[in-house]
Structure 1
Amino acid sequence: MKLPSKLPFGLRIASLKSGLFWRTFFLLGALTTTSMTAWVGMISVVQHEPQVQQISSQVISVVTITHAALTHSAPELRRELLFELVSNEGIRVFPLEDDDKVEPPADNALMPDIEKLVKAKLGADTRFSSKVNGVAGFWVSFNIDDDQYWLMLERERIRGLTGIQWLGWASVVSVVSLLGAAFISSLINLPLRRLTQATRDFAQGKRPAPLPEKGPLEILEANRSFNQMVDDLQQVESDRAVILAGISHDLRTPLARMQLEVEMANLSQEAREGMQSDIGQMDAIIGQFLDYAKPTEAASFINVDISELLTDTAHEAARLPDVRIGTDIAPGAHAMGNATDIKRVINNLIENARRYGKTPGADYTEIDIKCSVKGMHAAKRVTIEVQDHGSGVPPEHIEQLLKPFTRLDEARSQANGAGLGLAIVDRVITRHGAELHVRNREGGGLLIQIVMKGL
């Protein structure tokens, strides 16, 4: 019994996620993200102290200069001085009132150290705020005699208070790194995808285009070995075709001569019938060997009307005197395949049922042929069933039925073949990319089911 040739949708998605491309992509992405995180952390730690010193010095200098300018300027010139500070330096000075609505300073890693250094220079009573009376900025308090003032610097002048810029750059670099990881993963997996596709085509009976013998040494050797393997197997197929033609001619010619000599010999009727039976059995065995060894070429596949083929085959089988055929064939069942090979498969199944599936207590064999179509479009499946009403097969022996040259003990006394009937079926069905299931039928007998991709 065969496993499905295609995995269900859910398993295909799981397989996709566990593919080499995604593994490579996620590993490179994880490495890049980890490296970026470590890099940002290292830069933040290394630059923390210099940033604190730079910003603190800038704040102290601005406050000190403003304080000195206001202290030493003439009262009538202070308004002009304040206007110039606002216009040219972006510095504003406001009286500090008790009812000012003051919000705490920005919450970041630099602010505590900045406050510590600034207070050490300007005094412990220096206050900081991110917004006063609804106006956002970098606010610092200072004293002139007994009066308190707010000095507001534009926040753009105080760099490094937040990690937004670092986060932005890290995000950009991360996106670029992930795109690079996807590109690298694609390059790494391209030769494997080519090899996989070529292997799949070859398994379906197609001759794949030669793989490019270039690139890294490992890829070059793998592609070269695959190309050589394809050439060797094609040569084997060619030699086998010649051998099969020779066997068919060289063995069947003497059998035909023996048949003629038996007809002309002065023998008793019993002896003549026995020899004719032996010759017929030898010819049937040769035919089975040829059918088993004959390749099924995917290039010969056409749109086959399975419903019509099964109906014709059932009518032909119904002419046998010891067979009773029942049919339940859905119309409009189509599949890609070789019509001759598919018909040979159905005939082999009918013959197998006729020989080994006789209905208990009867001198004939009941065989049911069914065909159904399920699904839509790409998910359409054509199911063919051939079942008899015999005694069936012990469950532990079912798998042996598909092995070449194997017959069960119950069949040996009446066997006149080489044990290749179901092996031929299995081989042809595999070449068609279909599924073959063998099991005992409910109520007695053997049920053989073929599931093909429908059209």
Structure 2
Amino acid sequence: MTRPLLRRLLPRTLLARNIVLLIVLVMLSQICSIAVLLHYVQRPRVERAATVFATYVTTLDSVLEATPARARAALTTRLDARAQLPAGAAEEPPPNVARAYRTYQRDLFLDSLRAHLPADMPARWQTEGGQRLWIRMHAPTDAPNAPYWIALPIPEDAQGSGLEAAIVLSLGLGILAALAGYAIQLHLNEPLQELARAARHVSAGKTPAPLPTDGPTEIAAVSRAFNQMTQTLQEAEATRALMLAGISHDIRTPLTKLRLSMAMAMPDGSDSSFVVAAESYLDQIETILQQFMDYAGSGEREAPQPGDLNALIERLAGDFAGLGHEFELSLTKLPALGYRPISMMRLLMNLMQNAIVYGKTGLAVRSWVAADVSLKAGGAAKQGQTVIVAVGDRGNGLSAQELEQLKAPFQRGRNARSHSGGTGLGLSIVERIARLHGGSLQFHARDGGGLEVWVVLPIKAA
């Protein structure tokens, strides 16, 4: 239970944790230094001053007692002797929180002084009307019933003004050290923030610029490892794309020859059912090969261009309507959006084709502009908006876990098992193209039943 409580109390960021740790360590070192100074240096000094002052007071008491009455009267007048204590002199002066060290040193001095003075010579500290120390002297032999109080100046060692300034200076140096540590930690956090930004670019399918490796040794080592990882990923991606494209291209050549050989080998008037079935299988293989080609490319080399996304949706809906598949369109006016035309057409075609194959009914496409809740408040209004295109149908819905798994390559939903000719790359291609444009792919349950696939694209798309 202690560990979860500690986790809740600790700051979330590494910067804040390091600053708190630095401040605690600096303050702890200052407190230890002050404690050692007070106990081993200042306390013996104050006690020694109290011992000397007690000797001075007892000597003065003996001198006054031995002085003749007329001379003693003149001397006590000069010492401001009084029969009664002033109102501001108390046995235990009130503590002063603002001057805690002076209060500690005063109490230490009074305790040590009273320990060295006779019990019948009390001492009082006056705080009102000026700092003075009152001592009650013994009554002289010629006036045994007339003891009196005299005021003496307070020794400098009992005031502690110099050490109080040193304590304030020490605390100031501690705060300065904490601020210096904060500045150093900010400097160290800059390459970590660059690393986080580069990692987000990699996860979005982009190629980040190489990280600088001229910083501290540990940070430079991490940056070099990240640069090497990025380069390895790029090489692996290029090799995979080249392999898929090469295999798909090479297989198409014997398929074309096979199709031609079948057509030439069948005599006229023979049963064509075998040819029709074989042609159907060859078409499925062609579709699978095209999906591999699309997945290998995904439009990385295509340059983005500003265009009207609604116009592209309407054109594709018209093409599908010519094939007998009507899509209900609900399109709102969209701002100019930079996108890769061929890749975006492939994305929308895949989604609309999936809706036709697996949904069959209730085909619809919507588009609108929405606020990007992932952006912090205070950002520019244009940067806080996204374009959303939703392709929906009324087919059997899948669970959220199944829908997320469909984003991975070669994954097919349970409603696709009865359909042949697929590879499980359709939504993977859509996901890659959406990430290439800085967007994302989301699945939502449709009102009234069915499924909607949302493509969320930032207005400032790459």
What is the TM-score when the length of structure 1 is the normalising length?
0.75
Q: Which residue of 2 aligns with 1:151?
A: 151
The question of whether the paired residues in 1 share the 8 Å contact of 2:26 and 2:177 is answered with: yes
C-alpha deviation, 1:295, in angstroms: 4.9
Whole-angstrom distance in 1 between the partners of 2:329 and 2:338: 22
Q: Which residue of 2 aligns with 1:413?
A: 418
Q: Which residue of 1 aligns with 2:133?
A: 139
Match of residue 22, structure 2, among 25, 28, 35 = 28
Q: Which amino acid aligns with 2:349?
A: N
**What SS class does the counterpart of residue 324 from structure 1 fall into?**
coil
The question of whether the paired residues in 2 share the 8 Å contact of 1:211 and 1:227 is answered with: no
Q: Which residue of 1 aligns with 2:280?
A: 277
Q: Which residue of 2 aligns with 1:287?
A: 290
Q: Which residue of 2 aligns with 1:351?
A: 353
RCO comparison, higher one (Cα < 8 Å, 6+): 1
Q: Which residue of 2 aligns with 1:130?
A: 126
**What SS class does the counterpart of residue 322 from structure 2 fall into?**
coil
C-alpha deviation, 1:372, in angstroms: 2.3
C-alpha deviation, 1:368, in angstroms: 1.1
Q: Which residue of 1 aligns with 2:390?
A: 385
CA shift digits 1:388-425 (9 cap, x unpaired) = 12333466744443343333454333332222212222
Match of residue 109, structure 2, among 110, 114, 122 = 114
CA shift digits 1:249-305 (9 cap, x unpaired) = 433344445555666675666555444433332222111011122255499456565
Whole-angstrom distance in 2 between the partners of 1:337 and 1:152: 91
Q: Which residue of 2 aligns with 1:41?
A: 35
What is the TM-score when the length of structure 2 is the normalising length?
0.74
Bigger share in strand: 1
Distance change >3 Å, CA 200–CA 414, structure 1 → 2: closer
**What SS class does the counterpart of residue 352 from structure 2 fall into?**
helix
Q: Which residue of 2 aligns with 1:101?
A: 87
Number of positions where the alignment pairs a residue of Structure 1 with one of Structure 2: 420
CA shift digits 1:53-93 (9 cap, x unpaired) = 24425645776798869979x97xx79x96xxxxxxxxxx5
Q: Which residue of 2 aligns with 1:3?
A: none
The question of whether the paired residues in 2 share the 8 Å contact of 1:137 and 1:152 is answered with: no
Q: Which amino acid aligns with 1:111?
A: R
**What SS class does the counterpart of residue 318 from structure 1 fall into?**
helix
The question of whether the paired residues in 2 share the 8 Å contact of 1:398 and 1:439 is answered with: no
**What SS class does the counterpart of residue 209 from structure 2 fall into?**
coil
Q: Which amino acid aligns with 2:33?
A: W
Whole-angstrom distance in 2 between the partners of 1:185 and 1:262: 73
Q: Which amino acid aligns with 2:32?
A: A
C-alpha deviation, 1:32, in angstroms: 2.6
C-alpha deviation, 1:371, in angstroms: 1.8
Distance change >3 Å, CA 141–CA 334, structure 1 → 2: farther
CA shift digits 1:181-217 (9 cap, x unpaired) = 324534654554443333333333123224416743x
Whole-angstrom distance in 2 between the partners of 1:138 and 1:58: 17
**What SS class does the counterpart of residue 84 from structure 2 fall into?**
coil
Distance change >3 Å, CA 281–CA 49, structure 1 → 2: same
**Superposed, which structure 2 residues align to 1:164-183 within 5 Å?**
164-165=164-165, 167-183=167-183
Identity %: 25
Q: Which residue of 2 aligns with 1:19?
A: 13
Whole-angstrom distance in 2 between the partners of 1:414 and 1:234: 34
The question of whether the paired residues in 1 share the 8 Å contact of 2:121 and 2:137 is answered with: no
C-alpha deviation, 1:453, in angstroms: 3.0
C-alpha deviation, 1:338, in angstroms: 3.3
Whole-angstrom distance in 1 between the partners of 2:112 and 2:404: 85
Whole-angstrom distance in 1 between the partners of 2:173 and 2:350: 65
* Greater Cα shift, 240-249 or 434-443: 240-249
Distance change >3 Å, CA 32–CA 117, structure 1 → 2: closer
CA shift digits 1:372-396 (9 cap, x unpaired) = 2222444323332111123334667
Q: Which amino acid aligns with 2:344?
A: I
**What SS class does the counterpart of residue 130 from structure 2 fall into?**
strand
Q: Which amino acid aligns with 2:210?
A: A
Whole-angstrom distance in 1 between the partners of 2:299 and 2:22: 44
Match of residue 333, structure 2, among 331, 334, 349 = 331
Q: Which residue of 1 aligns with 2:342?
A: 340
**What SS class does the counterpart of residue 135 from structure 1 fall into?**
coil
